Amino acid sequence: MLTVNFAFSGTELIGVTAGEAKDPAKNIPKAIHTTLFRLIIFFIGSITVMAALIPWQKAGVNQSPFVLVFDSIGLPFAGDLMNFVVLTAILSAANSGLYASTRMLWSLAHEGMIPLKYAKTNSRGVPMIALSLSMLGGILALVSSVVAASTVYLVLVSISGLAVVIVWMAIAYSEINFRKAWLKASHTTEELTFKTPWYPLIPWAAFILSLLSCVLIVFDPTQRPALFYMIPFLILCYVVYYVKIKVHPTKNRSDK
């Protein structure tokens, strides 16, 4: 389940880009729609095609199902072609992850959660310190997959895989609370530039299904360690937040 959730991760980055997008009122809804269509075509569509072409007796994890399909139709160099596709996808995922990590460090610095130096930008508006730290973290994570695959890397994968689901839950719950607060402030849904379709069914369904995927992890011994690592990590984050904001209010905000 964690692997599936991780495969679909990245859609939440649309919200991260809103802060820098040109004409977000127009482009963010467009990005949401195109992302949905791409997920349907490239993920669900490809799975449907493979399920129709590959006999269940031949399905497995020893060979890529895409390579198996291409070989069955006589396409030469199927393995090399898929390696190129996978490499391209990895680079794309790394690029988006690097951007998101840098952006979040920049935002945390502006909020006073981390030192303000991480929000400093160069002449081109790039937060180089945050970018460098994000790149270093990515490199160390990559190294850990080789030298500590069963320890450090396992913890990182567990935390990141489950964190994606928690982020989805937070987004859905935020949408529900936002709509309530918006209407309570005497606004109308017609004033919203982008309205969630079938509200409140969609956000509640997203929240409940994401929560269900977390619960199902308990029944999978191979993925259960994700909970053991993620729960202490969440507690640590909230403790740090409480100490930073409640006990010792920061004087490091960029607007002060």
Does residue 207 surpass a pLDDT of 90? yes
Give the model's pLDDT for residue 157.
77
Best mean pLDDT range from 10-19, 20-29, 85-94, 132-141: 132-141
Share of residues in the chain with pLDDT > 90 (%):
12
And the tokens for 116?
């303000």
- pLDDT class for 256, splitting at 50, 70, 90? very low
- pLDDT class for 249, splitting at 50, 70, 90? low
Higher per-residue confidence, 176 vs 73: 176
Fill in the DSSP letter of residue 151: T
* Sequential DSSP letters for 7-33: HTTTTTHHHHHTTT-SSHHHHHHHHHH
Report the candidate in 65, 97, 61 with the shortest Cα–Cα distance to residue 78.
65
Does residue 173 surpass a pLDDT of 90? yes
Query: Which position has the token pair 């011994």?
Result: 221
The runs of H, that is alpha helices, within the chain are 2-7, 13-17, 24-38, 46-53, 65-72, 78-110, 128-147, 152-184, 201-217, 225-241
Phi-psi region of 77 (alpha: psi -120 to 50; beta: other; left: phi over 0): left
Mean pLDDT of 119-125: 87
- pLDDT class for 223, splitting at 50, 70, 90? confident
Mean pLDDT of 40-45: 80
For all residues of the chain together, what is the average pLDDT? Answer: 81
Give the model's pLDDT for residue 174.
92
**Range of lowest pLDDT (50-64, 84-98, 160-174):** 50-64
To 10 degrees, the CA torsion angle through 75, 77, 79, 80? Answer: -140
For residues 82 and 70, the answer to whether their CB atoms sit within 8 Å is: yes
Mean pLDDT of 241-245: 78
